């Protein structure tokens, strides 16, 4: 059974930093691309970042480029999202997701989410 558990969310002032973690189980983690998404109240879920299984490739939505960094530790079955220079508009529930697609992204598994609140 696949389980993804996020942690590390909380309340931070604008300009501050936060590091999110996602612990995975039930996956061949070291062969699975991973992603982070977020959803603000009243908004649709938004792609934030993606990392390939080998960590050779990463991608980010434009609004977080230069501020957020996705990384992974395959020995610990964990993916991270380092968030710097946080802005109030970053406030959202952040979700970890596993991409099991064979020929393109397909996020079939999701964590429960962790709340990030950035005060102005």
Q: pLDDT per residue over 1-18, tens digit each?
A: 899 999 999 999 999 999
Query: Taking 90 as the threshold, does the pLDDT of residue 113 lie above it?
Result: yes
Q: What is the pLDDT of residue 43?
A: 96
Query: Taking 90 as the threshold, does the pLDDT of residue 28 lie above it?
Result: no
Q: pLDDT per residue over 45-69, tens digit each?
A: 999 999 998 888 999 999 999 999 9
- The pLDDT of 93-100, averaged and rounded, is 96
- Could you write out the DSSP letters of every residue in 56-111? S-EEE-GGGTTTEEEEEEGGGTEEEEEE-S--GGG-EEEEEEEE--SSS--EEEE-
Contact 79, 71 (CB under 8 A): yes
Q: What is the pLDDT of residue 50?
A: 97
Question: Percent of the chain, pLDDT > 70?
Answer: 100
Q: What is the pLDDT of residue 104?
A: 84
Q: How far is CA 41 from CA 66, 89, 92, 93, 95, in A?
A: 24, 11, 7, 8, 14
Q: What is the pLDDT of residue 29?
A: 83
């Amino acid at each position: 059974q696949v389980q993804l558990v996020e942690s590390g969310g909380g309340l931070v002032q604008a300009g501050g930093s936060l590091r999110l973690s996602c612990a995975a189980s039930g996956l061949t983690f070291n062969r699975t691309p991973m992603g982070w998404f977020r959803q603000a109240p009243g908004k649709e879920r938004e792609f934030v970042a993606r990392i390939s299984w080998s960590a050779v490739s990463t991608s980010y939505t434009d609004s977080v480029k230069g501020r957020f960094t996705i990384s992974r530790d395959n020995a610990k079955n964990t993916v991270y999202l380092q968030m710097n220079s946080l802005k109030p508009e970053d406030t959202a529930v952040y979700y970890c997701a596993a991409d099991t697609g064979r020929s393109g992204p397909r996020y079939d598994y999701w964590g429960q989410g962790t709340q990030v609140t950035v005060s102005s």
